[in-house]
Structure 1
């Protein structure tokens, strides 16, 4: 998978920061815009107290201010209602700056529309304008261009009043407006840097947290996949292990499994007896009835012998028509008696094979393990005992102590 380039990642981060700043400023602006008319009403009461309300066009000015604030509220509401997209990220800052200029002009025009000879009202007016300027600087600090344009529209009438006004008071107002404009822009730039840095850090932390969450999900999915694969591998290994130690036809342990058990008994020098048997005339069954019949005979022999054994005994197919019975902790006489019972069980009842009933017998050789005896000697003696049974007429048991 192609990883995003660094410029693409930076652009995506900038878009996230811009979206957060838009939402932040829109929420603040909505509250500030709704509370702004209360400051204008304060001027109304001062004018009324000073008896100047009839001399100035307060209500036309107030209507223009409310219209500008309404446009600003629409811009803020658009940002709050809609999900930030590429169009909003590009156009909202422009619309915000334009609407703020209108609001700034509306507030700043009070210096012309509401001029009066009352020092109290003049002081109150510029105090309100200064408060509005500081409030908007804080609210809009994420977008420095909007701050500069608003403060200029707000304080430019005061600056012009100082240039063209008459008297020392006008000069004071002009100089104070200019200095206050510079102060607001300087402080606004500091707040702008801090706010943008904080928002950027917050967005990076959020994105990092999302990446970590996604990484955790991917790791959990990978772990589940590995667990499933491990389980499948374990099943496959168990299947392979079973295939390596189980005879496919009779489902008995095979020669490999029998040899492993015999080696264990010999290594531990544990008392045990070995019964080796060979199905009599098995080749004739294959020749007369086919290999399917031979397979059925081997399965039938295995089922009948299993029913006669103890839980700790091991019956295995040793190869071809040969079977081996391993009897741990068995005395020779007991092993011979068990072998005789197996011999009688096989011969007692015919096996149904391919629509016929076949009397199946086997020749048994029994021998105990001698202390310190090697495995090949033990097997050779069992094989000798089995062949003695065959030579003696089959369907019998021979014990070689």
Structure 2
């Protein structure tokens, strides 16, 4: 049943979606931008990935710093930065200024993805798992929307006008951000670091984003080069593949439950990593198998793999506040913890595409499948370690509380 808190949750999710659309817009517009500004292929790749630079380099520090301020103020400031940088990019006369605008955009994007899930966690209450599962879809939804809409518009209007559109679109949520209902924000008065369980969980999430974004980032090139897809068809398949993640995220919201135990979440993560890893052997077939499969079957396998893998991101975000509680950490560390998540996720997004591209150019596209399987195992280990560390920390807190209680009774 929809509660009064869900309009606020949807507003915060939309802020994330519009920020993530800035990831997809540049990829779709890059052919036109390259032609206008004479960018090399390597320079174009850097332009697309630069929006993750802020998170990859400053995510944890930014989260710790942001925890000292109002999350609403951080969200509003980030939104304005993304919009201002988008307008500056549209007016940039050369590649240098476009790179600078993209860097500023990355700082705004980082502020949004740190503050919005923190506010969702505060607003959601007992719906926290479902709300954070919804939040986990903001990147695939944003990338799909940014890529598809920008690609369609690029054949009709100049790329600079499209950048103006996305800059203004980001501001849609700003008035409502200032009118968010009052929430008990937990701010840090000092500089505190999240507990080890959060870092381990973020490590598992980082390896997941490495394989996820790596495959998505190189999928158009793979489908065109290995299976003869047109650029337009490969782009549509990639957009559908990205959006398919939503299915797994909503399944996670229904399956994860409301308990604190680790068994069910770890089982779901294992399914969300193992089944896609197996499907990728059909998506990136080797030898004789490749001769028996068509491009349509390969695309379907990759789409199905992505749909199931949506379980992982949803559970990662849903378990973050749970592991904080089980570790005995203060709720004020939610924002700092989201900064750690942003850093590992952004680092994975930066590393993934060039890693997959290097593997494919060195050993062939079929080797991508075993690499994804290896990354999946490391990711699962990170999730399991996070749960184990939280459990151990919780036992330590319980023993300390018990000793304190015995001491007070003795006096």
The TM-score range, normalised by the shorter chain, is under 0.3
Larger helix fraction of residues: 2
**Structure-1-length-normalised TM-score:** 0.26
Larger strand fraction of residues: 1
Q: Which has the higher contact order (CA 8 A, sep 6+)?
A: 2
**Structure-2-length-normalised TM-score:** 0.25
